[in-house]
Amino acid sequence: MALARYANELRSTTVPLPVLGSEPPHGVMSPEDLDRTVAVFYRTWRAGTLRLSDGGGPFGFDIAVALIAHEIIDAFGCDAIAETGCFTGDTTAYLARRYPDLPVYTCDTDPECSAFTARRLAGCPNVTVSRENSPAMLARVCAGHRRTFAFLDAHWGRAWPLPAELEVLDGAVALIHDFDIGHQRFSYDRYGGRSCGPALLARMSHPPARYFTVNPLASLPVPCLQTGRRAGVAVITAGLDPAPLDRNPYLQARVLGAACAGAAS
């Protein structure tokens, strides 16, 4: 039974690559962009394997999240990238090398993690690593840029800064990691009896009417090699029109009120 489910997942996540030189469909990256994304993603060392349940790697070693991120950065014309919680810098390293023309900001409250990531990426002039609480860093980046791509993944031990991070978003599109998308293949976080899911978004001072989650049935142009833990992700905007997210081929739109009602029933 498990093998059959895996076969179905494999069939649903691969499609033929577009013909080189052809015009890609709207909302789908070009073959050149795809090759660059895959090359940088799978050549990034997985230092996070030391402690992470998913074995580390950029975005939890889930290429689907990298594809979602690229479509977002391209569609919104993002002028900065902010990552909360760098740990050993796997995702930071990917983002810095995949988008060398964009400033990449990351932080961690653990002095060893922030120092390690800073040393690891000393050769990337577009990266700024700081030791601080993530909401402070995120607020500063949003204030200094017009369209920030924010990857929200700061959590460890008892600390869960995500609720505060959501409140400081402005002029940003945020990809929330470890989010409950209601699918058994995708894991999510739970802190203090609260799930990282739609109810958390509903408690924002200005909750979005809609949010977007990874579509488990979306066809990927390359295989996802993460056979272990995969994290659910959600995407919201703050101060930006969410319309480009409707064209993201790897996302599905959800109405927040309906999702919360379904979770409570």
pLDDT digits (tens, 9 = 90+) for 112-137: 999 999 999 999 999 999 999 999 99
- CA dihedral of residues 139, 202, 217, 4 (deg, nearest 10): 110
Average pLDDT over residues 223-228: 92
In the chain, the percentage of residues whose pLDDT exceeds 70 is 87
CATH number of the domain where residue 134 is located: 3.40.50.150
The total of structural domains in the chain comes to 1
Residue 210 lies inside a defined structural domain of this protein: yes
- Give per-residue pLDDT as tens, 52-82: 777 789 999 999 999 999 999 999 999 999 9
Rounded distance between C-alpha atoms, residue 98 and residue 8, angstroms: 31
The phi, psi pair for 166, rounded to 5°, reads: -60, -35
Is position 23 within any domain? Answer: no
Q: Is residue 26, in this structure, part of any structural domain at all?
A: no
Q: Which range marks the domain in which residue 77 is found?
A: 2-17+31-264
CA 265, CA 187: separation in Å to the nearest integer?
21
38, pLDDT greater than 70? yes
* pLDDT of 257: 85
Q: Is residue 22 part of a domain?
A: no
Rg (CA), the chain: 17
- Percent of the chain scoring above 90 in pLDDT: 78
- The whole-number pLDDT of residue 24 equals 46
